[in-house]
Homo-oligomer: A and B are copies of this chain.
Amino acid sequence: MSREIKLGLLGSGTVGSGVVQVLRENIQEITAKVGAKLSIKTVLVRDAGKKRPQLENLQVTENFQDILDDAEISIVVELMGGLHPAREYMLQAMEHGKSVVTANKDVVAQFGREMFEMAEKHGVDFLFEASVGGGIPIITPLKQCLTANRMTEVMGIVNGTTNYMLTRMSESGADYASVLKEAQEKGYAEANPSADVDGLDAARKAAILATLAFNTHIDLKDVYVEGITGITTEDIEYARELGYVVKLLAIGKDSQEKGVDVRVHPVFLPKSHPLASVNGVYNAIFVRGNAIGEAMFYGPGAGSLPTASSVVADIIEVARDILSDTFGRIHFNDTNQKKVCPIEETESSYYVRLLVDDKPGVLGAIATTFGNADVSLQSVIQTKQSIPGYAEIVAITHRVRHANILQAETKFKALPVVNEIRNIIRVENE
């Protein structure tokens, strides 16, 4: 029990404070589990003069070099966020023989391969459990517990802000604008909500999940992204009537013929699907593999302490590697480069909602147009609108190529009886 492993912490924001708190509160149990004491030696902060009650008794510095040059520090914990200088600091730490633990989804999504290679080159660990799903163990399960499988699907609710908003729209019937305002008031959404509502945050997590699940490198630019800004209360109401809920999902699929496709978009999900009852700010990741079948991981997707739970678990993992003199243990490699399936070639069922003229023959014209684009229909509903002369047509298609839906969309735009294409949303039917 005499051995001590010292950490350098980069950043002292929400997650950093959580890490300090978890290490303080649970130090006795953690020491017993690890067989060594973990202690934070130095914290990199922006302004060393600022009072930080949460960092009491800890040494702070404004200069990363102090941590880099400190031979006593064997683990660097990066919690600054953002691409730069986080990426550079982590690379330098590994070059100096220090292992790195991070919660930084941006760096892992965009520079993951560079990080893995640097870790391998220097025989150190690079761990990033907290980068997806906050406190939920999902990175380790994918790298380790499910690694005997050929994974075919990973599908997750990985953005708490949008899940909260969609849950509220569904529960209360409120519209997009008012649930966004509510989420902002509760601190779940930023003043500029774009990263969440446009799906960019989820896209980073989708790239990481797909990279791990399919053991291939998925570049962020290969992720197709649609956000939730176009979802209306009417769409949510139709979903309910048809037996679905609307969720923003990060989806990765590996069909051996077409390759890997990775995307983030709203989905009509059957109410019976395990992800359908994941509500509010909770996250969950559903996976499918050729040995396990289906499994799901559920928990808090963000927050100071849940995220710290994952960060500290990674720190403990590195400590165990250090204590057992492990060198260059393979945690993950993505050397297997699978082809990426273009979005046009992906297949799905679709919900298509059109505002049309309310006159005889319209339904026939719509059905014919779908048929001409090679889109076959599973069901069609036509409903009167409050404005006389208009009706709404809601169609659920069979499974078709995205290219065919784009083709149908183009044809509808040219069709005089179609006044507006109100929404097109994918339906997950498996």
Is A25 on the interface with B (CB-CB < 8 A)? yes
Asked, given contacts A148-B22, A309-B149, whether A33 binds B291 with beta carbons under 8 Å apart, the answer is no
Please, how many angstroms separate the alpha-carbon atoms of A306 and B274 in the complex?
Answer: 18
Identify which of B290, B296, B324, B328 contacts A25 (C-beta below 8 A).
Answer: B290
Counting every copy of the chain, the complex holds 2
Q: Which of B135, B292, B305 contacts A295 (CB 8 A)?
A: B135
Please judge, given known A-B contacts A141-B137, A148-B316, A330-B34, whether A300 and B290 are in contact too, CB under 8 Å: no
With beta carbons under 8 angstroms apart, the residue of B135, B327, B335 that contacts A292 is B135
User: Are B33 and A147 in contact, CB atoms less than 8 angstroms apart?
Assistant: yes
Asked if A289 is an interface residue, CB under 8 A from chain B, the answer is yes
Q: Is A274's CB under 8 angstroms from B298's CB?
A: yes
Give chain B nearest CB distance to A54 CB in angstroms. 15
* Nearest CB on B from A96, distance (A): 21
Q: A33-B333, A330-B34, A330-B35 are in contact. Are A313 and B148 (CB under 8 A)?
A: yes
Q: Does A241 contact B (CB under 8 A)?
A: no
- Any B CB within 8 A of the CB of A385: no
Q: Which residue of B lies closest to A332 (CB)?
A: B33
Q: In the complex, what distance in Å separates the CA atom of A349 from the CA atom of B82?
A: 48
Inter-chain CA distance A325–B312, complex, in Å, is 25
A32 interface residue per 8 A CB criterion: yes
Within 8 A of B (CB), among A281-307: 289-300, 303, 305-306
Q: Could you list 20 examples of A-B contacts with CB < 8 Å?
A: A25-B150, A25-B290, A32-B215, A32-B335, A135-B293, A140-B140, A141-B145, A144-B313, A148-B312, A149-B309, A274-B277, A292-B299, A293-B306, A295-B297, A295-B298, A296-B297, A296-B298, A298-B298, A321-B329, A324-B327
